[in-house]
Amino acid sequence: QILEVLARVRDEEEEYLCNQIYKNTMKVFFPYEL
């Protein structure tokens, strides 16, 4: 649900946004996994 709202507000594709959030989360919490 939050993803849908963010996608609408930022006028971006949900899938793109999802990938960005995933990458950012990985960078913060699991930097050595990337």
Measured in whole angstroms, how far is the alpha carbon of residue 1 from the centre of its chain? 13
Burial degree of 4 (CB within 10 A; 0-12, 13-18, 19+): exposed
Amino acid 34: pLDDT: 67
pLDDT at 20 over 90: yes
Kindly indicate the confidence band of residue 18, based on its pLDDT and cuts at 50, 70 and 90: very high
Amino acid 33: pLDDT: 78
Question: Number of folded domains in the chain?
Answer: 1
Kindly indicate the confidence band of residue 25, based on its pLDDT and cuts at 50, 70 and 90: very high
User: How does DSSP classify residue 1?
Assistant: -
Question: Cα dist. 27→12, 21, 24, 33, 34 in Å?
Answer: 21, 10, 5, 8, 7
Range of the domain at 9: 1-30
pLDDT at 19 over 80: yes
Mean pLDDT, residues 9-22 taken together: 90
